[in-house]
């Protein structure tokens, strides 16, 4: 059964998200761009910092995808620049929801990335996300009609961040309590 079959119970998707054992697919050589989805962040007073998970994601991008144009959520973009990544490789930095005051969620990042890809006639996107977030990221992008590529490069390379401002990204236990509800909400909204 396809993970993004509308209306189907997303049990396989939940299993992948909880285990972090996502499915690799597509050809890295055919990637037009990388889309990076942040995973938590740190907050000190009113300032936001990338945090450990997003630094790990930026390091994966720097090591494996440095020459591919990137559409990055701002926490990863900040970490990518701080790690020595070429700023000219960041084609688009996604910083906020298009609807003022709304939370910048996975679906919104994917929708903005898709629009940007269409403007450039890019067809295939390599997805960069925390291994436990990647199953939902891939399902959302595919539901939006994107051709996605998923590599194994984040396996074992991206940690949870105990100091994250988003409690569900602090540990595997917290993620396992959060993600099944997030997947169900996305399914109810027709985003999976």
Question: Taking the model in full, what pTM does it have?
Answer: 0.93
Tell me if 136 sits within 8 A of 186, measured CB to CB.
yes
- For the chain, domain boundaries: 11-188
Strand order in the sheet with 124-128: 90-94, 70-73, 33-36, 124-128, 147-149
Low pLDDT (below 70) residues in the chain: 1-9
Give the pLDDT confidence score for residue 83 in this predicted structure. Answer: 87
CATH topology of domain 11-188: Rossmann fold (3.40.50)
- What token pair was written down for 125? 């996107």
pLDDT tens digits for 120-149?
999 999 999 999 999 999 999 999 999 999
Q: Is 86 helix (H, G, I), strand (E, B) or coil?
A: coil
Q: Is 18 helix (H, G, I), strand (E, B) or coil?
A: helix
- What token pair was written down for 183? 């997947």
φ and ψ of 34, to 5 deg = -115, 135
Q: Is 180 helix (H, G, I), strand (E, B) or coil?
A: helix
């Amino acid at each position: 059964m396809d993970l993004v079959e509308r209306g189907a119970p997303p049990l396989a998707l939940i299993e992948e998200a909880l285990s972090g054992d996502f499915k690799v697919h597509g050809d890295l050589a055919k990637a037009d761009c990388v889309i990076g989805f942040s995973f938590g962040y740190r907050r000190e007073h009113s300032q936001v910092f990338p945090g450990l998970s997003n630094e790990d994601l930026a390091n994966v991008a720097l090591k494996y995808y440095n020459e591919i144009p990137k559409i990055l959520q701002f926490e990863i973009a900040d970490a990518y620049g701080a790690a020595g990544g070429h700023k000219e490789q960041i084609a688009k930095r996604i910083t906020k929801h298009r609807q003022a005051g709304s939370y910048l969620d996975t679906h919104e990042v994917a929708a903005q990335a898709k629009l940007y890809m269409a403007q450039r006639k890019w067809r295939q996107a390599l997805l960069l996300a925390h291994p436990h977030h990647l199953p939902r990221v891939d399902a959302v992008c595919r539901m939006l009609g994107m051709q996605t590529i998923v590599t194994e490069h984040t396996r074992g390379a991206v940690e949870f961040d105990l100091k994250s401002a988003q409690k569900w990204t602090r540990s595997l236990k917290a993620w396992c309590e959060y993600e099944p509800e997030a997947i169900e909400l996305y399914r109810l909204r027709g985003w999976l």
